[in-house]
Amino acid sequence: MRRTDRQMADGRPIHYFDDTEPWVSGANARSAVDTRDLPAVATTSTMRWDVLTGEWVAHAAHRQDRTFMPPADLCPLCPARPGKEPGEVPEADYDVVVFANRFPSYAGAGTDLASQAESLVDGEALWPVRPAVGRCEVVCFTADHSATFASLPVSRVRTVVEAWADRTAELSSLAGVREGGEVFVFENRGKEIGVTLQHPHGQIYAYPAPTPRTSQLLVQAQRHRAAHGTSLLADVLAAEQRAGTRVVLRGEHWTAYVPAAARWPVEFHLAPHRDVPDLAALDAGERDELAQVYSEMLKRLDRYFDGVDALPYIAGWHQAPLGADRDLGRLHLQAFSVLRQPGKLKYLAGSESGAGAWINDTTPERIADRLREVAS
């Protein structure tokens, strides 16, 4: 795999990760120039403190104007082609490419958080506000607009894994993130999820602080360590392996299972057997098997419901936060779908959205049974 770094017309970085010739050997160099007349990215992102929940909430009004569901011939993630309006990738072809989002929810990573002035909404001490410092990147898995992640060859999935690890390491080192933030790698697929571009792609967010989910996990992990002296996430994996009833795939380095308290009508977690904080810490063998296991699990999602060829899903890599609580975290993937039956969505209505009290319409054991049934 070869990484090549270039710059877009507005100064954003773009990174090519190549696994095919003539690029991977360097016989040809990535040299296409982004000739668009683009102004520099300007964001209005801020974060306000929600005193009722103890969470920072980002506000990014500029994202209202982002590209929404363009036709294939106008897709900004497709490579440059004759007669096609220039998009985000100036090269005529690519394997995997990563670039900074033009409509980021968080921006300004590389800035020391201590230098960011915090102010107050309406001058009220209850409502602190500060710039939403961080980084948002787009990961295009393939130049093929009609492909899906599950349809990629394992060799290409392996390149994506390498890109994820590379970007995790680099983003984790940025000022404004490294002091105690978090890097979250994820893919949204399907209009039911809310995607705005159909091209197969994912995203990477580098947050300035742990997300609410991670913060809650850290509280639970700290309580577990105080009571038992062990890692909560490692103990969960070991317990799922011992029970076996919800394990759907187990390899040399990875286990996929449905969590005992699964919230979604379709859900699985994927965890490494070795304690590692993030994707960057995986060794070559773990990365190789991850490409195979993850590809297989995505294929099972697409076979989960008869008559549904492309299950809408969210797949997110939860990595250990940076800073003092890093040792409480452990790498794991959560993948889930909002589809509870063909043509029927799991709506987060009154109980879930209003009160945060989750109700699943099936059982984790039934989910696991089905994921085993649809194995390749």
- Spatial separation of the C-alpha atoms in residues 167 and 136, rounded to whole Å: 11
User: Would you call 228 helix, strand, or coil by DSSP?
Assistant: helix
Q: Is 136 annotated as a binding residue?
A: no
Q: Which residue has the tokens 């009154």?
A: 350
Cα dihedral: 279, 274, 242, 266 (round 10): 0
Neighbours of 93 (CB within 10 A): 14
* Whole-angstrom distance, CA of residue 45 vs CA of residue 64: 12
Q: Which one of 15, 201, 318, 332 is the catalytic residue?
A: 201
Q: Which residues contact 289 (CB under 8 A, 6 or more apart)?
A: 251, 252, 253, 254
- Judge contact between 266 and 189, C-beta under 8 A: no
Q: Which tokens hold the place of 170?
A: 């680099």
Strands (E), 41-132: 46-50, 55-59, 96-100, 107-108, 119-120, 128-131
| Residue 224 annotated as part of some ligand binding site | no
Tell me the Ramachandran region of residue 194: left when phi exceeds 0, alpha when psi lies from -120 to 50, beta otherwise: left
345 forms bridges with which residues in the sheet? 339
> What residue spans of the chain are helical by DSSP H?
154-172, 212-228, 232-243, 284-302, 355, 364-373
Is 75 annotated among the ligand-binding residues?
yes
Contact of 221 with 233, CB cutoff 8 Å: yes
Beta bridge partner(s), residue 99: 14, 138
228 is a catalytic site residue: no
Active site residues: 201
Residues in binding site: 75, 78, 145, 199
Annotated binding site for Zn(2+): 75, 78, 145, 199
